[in-house]
Amino acid sequence: MKIMIDLNILLDVFQKREPHYYASSMVLNKVLMNEISGDLPAHAITTIYYLVLKFSNRDKAIEVIDLIIKHFGIVPADKSVFINARGLNISDFEDAVVASLAKFNDDDFIITRNVSDFKNFPVKAMMPTEFLAIIESV
């Protein structure tokens, strides 16, 4: 199983945002334990670096980026992804790019807390809790 992880899931974990921290960290842990394959949009990496640097320090930011690079697939966006994203009926452009990346990368699901932003898209979006319930029942 292969999932696209939206930036808000990473932020839940790195910023320890409650009440979402536990479920989001469990999704990331499934990737770290090689139980599932987790992909991240390339643009999320620079955002995470910036935020960790801002709230911690450069060494911590590099440590986090190295962890991400080691365990997650990094999915780049080319011109076709942006063209596809512009044509989607998704109001948030960043979410449209994530949706396009998930489609082009053949991900099974998009894990996000903004499920409503991904309605009527071929790759099903779900909350971390919903995803965990599904994979635990398999």
Over residues 91-108, the pLDDT tens digits come to 889 889 999 999 999 999
pLDDT at 88: 87
Q: Please report the pLDDT score of residue 121 as a whole number.
A: 83
Predicted pLDDT of residue 138: 63
Measure the CA angle with vertex 130, ends 93 and 46; round to 5°.
Answer: 40
Q: What is the rounded distance in angstroms from the CA atom of residue 131 to the CA atom of residue 109?
A: 9
Which of 45, 124, 123 lies closest to 84 in space, CA to CA? 123
**Rounded mean pLDDT of 41-49?**
93
- Please report the pLDDT score of residue 44 as a whole number: 93
Give the domains, in start order, of the chain with CATH numbers. 2-136 (3.40.50.1010)
Q: Where are the beta strands (DSSP E) in the chain?
A: 2-5, 37-41, 73-75, 109-111, 124-126
pLDDT for 115-128, tens place per residue? Answer: 988 887 889 999 99
User: If pLDDT is split at 50, 70 and 90, which confidence band does 69 have?
Assistant: very high
pTM of this prediction?
Answer: 0.90
**Amino acid in position 18:** E
Distance between CA atoms of 135 and 53, rounded to whole angstroms?
A: 34
- Is the Cβ–Cβ distance between 103 and 81 less than 8 Å? no
Flag whether pLDDT at 90 surpasses 90: no
**Contact criterion met (CB below 8 Å) for 58 and 73:** no
Q: What pLDDT was estimated at residue 136?
A: 85
Please check the confidence at residue 55 and state whether its pLDDT lies above 90.
Answer: no
**Average pLDDT of the residues in 22-34:** 96
